[in-house]
Amino acid sequence: RADRAVRARPTLMPPRRRNGLIDHAGRVALNAYQLAGATVWACEVLGFYFLFAPSVDDAGARVGAMIAYGALAATATVAFFSAAATDPKARVADGEEDDAKEKMLYCRFCEATVYAGAKHCRDCDKCVDGFDHHCKWLNNCVGVRNYRSFFVLVSATFTQVSGQVVAGTYLLGWLASDEDRARAYIATNATYVGQGVTYASLIGGLCAYIALGGVLLYIVGELFTFHVALCHKGLSTYEYIIAERTIAADLRAVAVERGEDPNDIVVRTNVCRLCYLDEAYAPEKPASRAAAPGTASESKKATAEEKKVAKAQVKAEKVIAKNKSKGAAASQQKRDESPPPVKREEALGDFDEELQKKSDARGASRKLVAH
């Protein structure tokens, strides 16, 4: 992606996928991560209904727990399909008015002008509005269109798994501390008897179930905490990674000055580093175009001079838009006269270098202002 720069365009390929479930040809196509995740999640759900639910002696409490857990599992399922089935493709910017009001970027991979904040994803082979990251478990990009569904999915799964680990640990403790009563209950429980569950098999199943839940809790818990911290900081995953790259670049420069090996410094990302991220490295957010009045009475107090200034600004914006529309034809002609296509790998390498240079310059300017 370049700011309307005329460069050699790469050999373009058709978009690989419409979303995380459908490929560009309209066929259902799931990856290995989706199938593995669905299998593990199904095991968690079945384990609750066949191991945990029958252990609740009170019928009312058992039904209530089953309904609550079912609602939580349904929420995670709907959120998954919503996030995976959404096409996060960026909007194509067109129109003189929009072009004048907002900074645009020309993507030479998509051969289209998109809004600032969009990023071209290599895996999806298209620009994504408000790009956060490419999720291999969804087989789709997470952007402004499906971030809410993604966050609901992570939150619901975290709540589901953590509750099951706690319940499984409690049930295992009860089986170990009151063996006689536990054996009698298992022998008279219709569900356990019908499934052929014994005291030893129940303990073995619970141990395996808790171990699986512990692994999932670590993975999903870290992801949940990371995105909660991102929301608190007002950052996306991509913006945070760019900030960490800038920090690593600055540390490499200091290492060179000290005569140390800069290759020992690598980009590190984790929740702790995110929480203590220096504000000097945070990406610049677009300022609001106009401050909204606090009350209706305050808006009526605008002076005639302020109205004149506002009209002058509108007129200036129209003039700018008109001038930019005149240059659109010339820009298109330059793009048409661009050099022949180059290899896609070379173009992607140049693209990453441009991004890194911009982020380094932004980080340096922010630190200068901070000091």
Rounded Cα gap, residues 74 and 54, in angstroms:
21
pLDDT tens for 247-284 read 888 888 888 888 888 888 888 888 888 888 887 777 66
Nearest to 176 by CA among 218, 207, 143, 140: 207
pTM exceeds 0.75: no
Phi, psi (degrees; rounded to nearest 5) at 120:
-85, 125
Average pLDDT over residues 103-128: 84
Residue with tokens 């095991």: 43
Average pLDDT over residues 345-367: 57
The distance from CA 28 to its chain's CA centroid, rounded to whole angstroms, is: 23
Nearest to 279 by CA among 246, 316, 326: 246
pLDDT tens for 149-168 read 999 999 999 999 998 898 88
Average model confidence (pLDDT) across the chain: 76
